[in-house]
Chains A and B, each alone.
Chain A
Amino acid sequence: MSDSQTPTKKQVKPSIIEATAISQSFGEEGVRFMALQEVSFKILHNSFTVVYGPSGSGKSTLLNILTGLQPPTTGKIVYNNQNIYELDSDSLAQFRASRIGIIYQQNYWVKSLSVVENVALPLFFRGYNRTLAKELALIALERVRMQDYATKNPTLLSGGEQQRVAVARALVNDPMIIIADEPTGSLDSKNGDLIMDLLHKAQTDSMRTIILVTHNMEYLPLADHLLHIQDGKVQELQAASIRATVDGLMTDMKQRIDRLSVMNQRKDHA
């Protein structure tokens, strides 16, 4: 290590992802639909970023671009000085297997494999032999307290249990970034909170960078960085301004609830 690099390393939170002028359009000429328009942002190491926006706002598109599954129409996305869409498809697969942990809203499993083998999948794809991969997967399962279910079939577990296993799978390859797409969307609040707690711990205890995609404002307070997406445009907010945004959104919502209850009362009278 040369001395000149040391200060950079000691910098509290270096940026880990830099997105520059990302646009994504779908469809043919004439019926072109812009899912993302000139989106730029930075995600810092060990941050907890929430990508917040209503459905259809472009969240999923952004998620697919971030996970290396969809090259943007224009713009570039750089992970640690590497523009990932300059990699060939095999190296990109390797990048996904080693650098990113993904948690989906729905639980996807390879049904012929047990819980521990499903958790070990990213390690299989990195070329680990099965014994070692399964040992590491078991450790990941212990972190979400699901080690007792290791040999079961994942489809037999409850929704909350499955989501915990999914968290283990996202942690198993020791990724630098964990991307969670509505991880609590199909869970009750108790299980949902458990998952959020695991993600929060991954940030605070294991120094991971978390990106949470959600349309649910309940978890906004966890964020220290907010990407508010609306109609393909991103508004980037740092920790200090998040509180204000949340309050603003809460006010909006209260007004909507009031409106709806007024409508309901009218219906009762009629």
Chain B
Amino acid sequence: MKLRFPRLPAKLQRNKDSIATVTVLYLAWKNLTTKKLRTFLTIFGIIIGIGAIFFLLSFGLGLQHIVTEEVIGNQSIKSIDITSPNSKILALNQETFDRIGKLPHVDRMGRSFSYPGSLSYSGSETDTIVYGVDPVYQELSNLTVIKGRQIASEDSRVAYLNTALLQSLGIENVESVLDQQIRLLVPLAAGAEPIAEDLTVIGIIDTGSGGEIFVPNHLFESAGQTSYKQFKLIADDTNNITDLRKQIESLGFLTTSPVDTIDQINQIFRFFNIILVSFGAIGMIVAVLGMFNTLTISLLERTREIGLMIALGGRQFDMKRLFIIEAVMLSVAGAVIGMILATINGEVINIIMNRLARSRGVLETFDLFATPYWLVMGILAFMVMVGLAVAFFPARRAQRINPIDALRRE
């Protein structure tokens, strides 16, 4: 196989008093392509090292992405949930709702009640959590309705419930409950009349593992309840989340945000990725030693050539440059090919895993491997640094070669 040095624009080949960088590149290229087997083996080592690191890291990042997606779902990272640490002292009522709603950067805000209650339908009865929601809260919660619809503002005696609740009622055909009457019983705090209502089922949702039912919040308001369980707001921008939370917390409330969860997930995966990288690093260390070995042997073999080049007018600096460029060429070539092969490998595994998942009934497709731009750039930059570091000693020795001694050697 004949490898050709690429043609470079004439601008790069301009005349100077000393050797042009592009000519040094050419000399390095010629040396590497003349010793094909050695160059190939050296690059191959780096391919394996970098390929392993890149493969494992993109797997770690892909997994992190999937987990984050799964946990956060389609919740907006701009949302903040507000609860009270003690509802008797600091109530979430209409007054505090208005107060928080007037804070800067609040886009929209919803509220909800939640009470334990029970539900009876065609002779069977089960416990459930009852949420009284307003339309904004409902919208910000991103509850996905699989059948029917959510509550509209003009609805009054309606409800929608999740599949887990239907299961505990022993209902298999979820559609059969649509438009049916259910009886809801919610015991309120001591002294208050319990809510007992007949409601029409208008929708089914898929979220949650325990029984949940959603009803319009005025069902609770008309029963005299003024203390909400939770407010949910959405900020106008992600960057304002931290400020906004601080302000709300200074009022004495507790806040949570999907950002917290993301932080936790990231923390766990940071640790996980470090473990993955350290596995890959073992291969990388071997590859770097191989590269060092190649450069050292190359230096010993070429002592006379370097002596000759100095005698013919090469500067010592150019000899140093030659070795540095060769090292960087090796490491970057290894990094590029390694990343390409790792990506192809990851794609193939991803296709296989998706097929496998589909055959077991998973409908969504997923990406097990993430190869973000910064990772590619980071690895390239890292390998340039590695090339420079590995070349340091051989290049310094090349620079110090005495042409008289070198040319005297037999």
Contacts and interface: CB of A to CB of B under 8 A. Distances in A.
Interface in B308-343: 308-318
Contact of B313 (A96, A104, A130): A96
A26 to B, nearest CB: 11
B312 A97 contact: yes
Given A69-B403, A94-B313, A113-B30, A125 B318 contact: yes
Contacts of A70: 404
A125 B313 contact: yes
A175 to B, nearest CB: 10
Interface stretch (B10-18, B73-81, B357-365): B10-18
Interface in B9-36: 10, 13-20, 22-23, 26-27, 30-31, 33-35
Contacts of A110: 27, 305, 308-309
A69 B404 contact: yes
A90 B317 contact: yes
Contacts of A173: 313
A69 B401 CA distance: 12
Contacts of A94: 17-18, 313, 315
B34 A111 contact: yes
Nearest to B15: A127
A109 B34 contact: no
B311 A69 contact: yes
A111 B305 contact: yes
Nearest to B307: A108
A124 B23 contact: yes
Interface in B136-180: none
B15 A97 contact: no
B385 interface: no
Interface in A39-80: 64, 67, 69-70
A219 interface: no
Which of under 10, 10 to 19, 20 to 34, or 35 or more describes the interface residues of B? 35 or more
B309 A121 contact: yes
Given A128-B15, A129-B20, A93 B305 contact: no
B310 A93 contact: yes
Contacts of B33: 112
A125 B403 contact: no
Contact of A96 (B20, B312, B318): B312
B318 to A, nearest CB: 7
A117 B19 CA distance: 14
A129 B13 contact: yes
Contacts of A243: none
B344 interface: no
A127 B313 CA distance: 11
A126 interface: yes
Contact of A125 (B22, B307, B309, B407): B309
Given A96-B312, A102-B312, A130 B404 contact: no
A118 B200 CA distance: 93
B111 interface: no
Contacts of B312: 96-97, 102, 121-122, 125, 169
A121 B309 CA distance: 8
Contacts of B13: 129-131
Contacts of A67: 311
Nearest to A133: B23
A17 to B, nearest CB: 18
B304 interface: yes
A36 to B, nearest CB: 14
A104 B314 contact: no
A108 B14 contact: no
Contacts of B10: 129
B15 A129 contact: yes
A147 interface: no
Contacts of B407: 104, 108
A89 interface: yes
Given A70-B404, A110-B305, A130-B13, A93 B30 contact: no
Nearest to B32: A112
A98 interface: yes
Contacts of A109: 305, 308
Contacts of A108: 304-305, 307-308, 407
A246 B263 CA distance: 93
Contact of B404 (A64, A90, A169): A64
B408 to A, nearest CB: 8
Nearest to B29: A112
Contacts of A93: 18, 310, 313-316
Interface in A141-168: none
A173 B19 CA distance: 14
B26 A130 contact: yes
B18 A112 contact: no
Given A128-B15, A130-B26, A102 B311 contact: yes
A125 B316 contact: no
A121 B305 CA distance: 11
Nearest to A172: B312
B305 A127 contact: no
Contact of A126 (B17, B304, B309, B316): B17
Contacts of A113: 27, 30
Interface of B: 10, 13-20, 22-23, 26-27, 30-31, 33-35, 304-305, 307-318, 403-404, 407
| 3 closest residue pairs by CB, A with B | A97-B313, A112-B34, A129-B13
Interface of A: 64, 67, 69-70, 89-90, 93-98, 102, 104, 108-113, 117, 121-122, 124-131, 169, 173
25 contacts: A69-B310, A89-B315, A90-B18, A90-B315, A90-B317, A94-B18, A94-B315, A96-B312, A97-B314, A108-B304, A108-B305, A112-B34, A112-B35, A117-B30, A122-B312, A124-B19, A125-B18, A125-B312, A125-B313, A125-B315, A126-B17, A126-B19, A129-B13, A129-B23, A131-B13
Given A90-B315, A125-B312, 16 more contacts: A70-B404, A89-B315, A89-B316, A93-B18, A93-B314, A96-B312, A108-B304, A109-B308, A112-B27, A112-B31, A121-B312, A121-B314, A125-B19, A126-B18, A129-B23, A130-B26
